[in-house]
Amino acid sequence: MRDFPSCFGESGVQIADASSSSSSSAGKGAAQNLVTCLYQTHFSGRPCVISLTWSKSLMGQGLSVGVDDLSSGHCLCKADIKPWLFSKKKGSRSLDVEDGKVEIFWDLSGARFGAGPEPVEGFYVAVVFDLELALLLGDMKKDAYRKTGASQSTLNAAAFVARREHIYGKKIYSAKAQFCDNGQFHDIAIECDTVGFKDPCLEIRVDKKPVMQVKRLAWKFRGNQAILVDGLPVEVFWDVHSWLFGSTASNAVFMFQTRQAPEKSLPWSYSQNFRESQLQGLGFSLILHAWKVE
């Protein structure tokens, strides 16, 4: 799979190549605290994707916001927000685009964070295009409406279409996922022990129930298989080549992609990019980079 939309820049991921993309310990350290989310919406009637990359470092929390034209893949604008450099962790940024103006508003001054780089409450992030609210995240919605000057009636229904994050373990790698809007959160466990095994096996569990097992992994280090979650077809792609044949700093890559209907085929290959999959009406994608902790 080629890069996410162009606004991702160096943060883009290639499914087939990502497992070998960061071989140094410095690269691994930088990757540990990044979560990227994609939201599909419309600017003046044209489909766009808004990307939010949350980061965490010794300096504090950071946020990068990008807007892509979905039909062309062209990056309309990008803004890096590093609140810890300012006296207050809130503000706004105005960016001119081809046919209007994009405004980004944020307030992280009272945000509370969990173990990861994303805030869990006490914040808002809003993206406005010519007074139309294209995206609103967080629980401080009243403050966001007041600050942006946009009315609730202008809010477009932005769809959460993809998430990429990094997970860690020695044998078991865990994550949480919500495969549809307002759906149930599920516990995902990926188990694979490649140390001392002549023929390692890969197993994936959802809510502690085995849903997929790949034997003879040395021959099947890349592949895909369909599973069902909440009655919804989910295609699982895996690439564990670097776990088996790469350096200790390498990571395996897993992608969980929903389909909109059981009868819809999944026209996905590792050479097709994210934008093409969304234009073909596919659902949510979760990409996990699984790092081995020595």
What distance in Å separates the CA atoms of residue 5 and residue 67, rounded to the nearest whole number? 9
For residue range 95-115, list pLDDT tens digits in order: 888 778 899 999 998 889 887
For residue range 136-149, list pLDDT tens digits in order: 999 999 999 999 98
φ, ψ at 23 (rounded to 5°)? -105, -10
What distance in Å separates the CA atoms of residue 96 and residue 93, rounded to the nearest whole number? 10
Please report, for residues 38, 242, 253, the alpha-carbon distance to residue 235 in angstroms, rounded to integers and kept in the order given: 19, 21, 14
For residue range 40-66, list pLDDT tens digits in order: 988 877 888 999 999 887 777 889 999
Task: Identify the bridge partners of residue 204 per DSSP, sorted by sequence position.
Answer: 190, 212
Place of tokens 């295609």: 235
Average pLDDT, the chain: 77
What distance in Å separates the CA atoms of residue 164 and residue 274, rounded to the nearest whole number? 12
pTM, two decimals, is 0.78
What single-letter DSSP state applies at residue 249? T
**Exposed, middle or buried, 256 (CB in 10 Å: 0-12/13-18/19+)?**
buried
Helix (H, G, I), strand (E, B) or coil at 84: helix
Element (H, E) at 199: none
The sign one gets for the Cα dihedral 273, 275, 279, 283 is: positive
Looking only at Cα atoms, what is the longest distance across the chain? Answer: 62
User: Is-contact 103 87, C-beta < 8 A?
Assistant: no
Average pLDDT over residues 119-127: 93
Nearest to 37 by CA among 221, 177, 231: 177
Return left, alpha or beta for 76; rule: phi > 0 is left, psi -120 to 50 is alpha, else beta: alpha
Q: What is the pLDDT of residue 30?
A: 46
Place of tokens 């026209």: 267
Please report, for residues 5, 160, 272, 286, the alpha-carbon distance to residue 254 in angstroms, rounded to integers and kept in the order given: 19, 19, 16, 8
What distance in Å separates the CA atoms of residue 201 and residue 30, rounded to the nearest whole number? 29
Q: What is the pLDDT of residue 284?
A: 86
Q: What is the pLDDT of residue 189?
A: 95
φ, ψ at 214 (rounded to 5°)? -120, 110
Average pLDDT over residues 239-250: 80
The amino acid sitting at 193 is D
- Say whether pLDDT at 8 is over 50: no
Which positions ≥6 away from 276 have C-beta within 8 Å?
A: none
Task: Identify the bridge partners of residue 59 per DSSP, sorted by sequence position.
Answer: none
CB atoms within 10 A of CB 190: 23
